[in-house]
Amino acid sequence: MKTTVHPRISKRGFISKVAGRSGQPIRVVSEVYESLIAELTDAVRRGDTVVLTGFGRFARQTHKGHKVRFGKKDVDDYSVLKFSASRSINRRLDPDAEGGPETLRLIDEFDEAEEVLARVAG
């Protein structure tokens, strides 16, 4: 497996690309971006799991503290943001591996049906 290094996209570059794709002004996209990140962070901080259909889920994951071999302080319990990509987004990263666009459409429909069933059952 060959690893290719790709350039990083900065926040500014990302917002610019989204603005170009959506036809919205950069200022508007920047405000939406900031609001989206703030709301996502607040929801996860409250203990909610945020599910973005067709993209993935964000949740708070707690880690147990531990002793430090060198140094004066131990590491207390702490939380991190955990992201789990949906199957459909993972398959979109390499569409040729799974049979192309028709397979992706079927996967998306299956993922949506699965989430509807989870809401009804839960």
The mean pLDDT of 87-105, rounded to a whole number, is 72
**Backbone torsions φ then ψ of 51, nearest 5 degrees:** -110, 120
Segment 36-50, tens digit of pLDDT: 999 999 999 999 999
pTM of the entire structure? 0.66
Of the candidates 121, 115, 2, the one whose C-alpha atom is nearest the C-alpha of residue 54 is 115
Q: Is the pLDDT of residue 14 over 70?
A: yes
Segment 54-80, tens digit of pLDDT: 999 999 998 888 877 777 688 788 899
Q: What is the mean pLDDT of the chain?
A: 85
Please enumerate in sequence order all residues whose Cβ is within 8 A of that of 33, keeping only pairs 6 or more positions apart, or say none. 11, 14, 15, 18
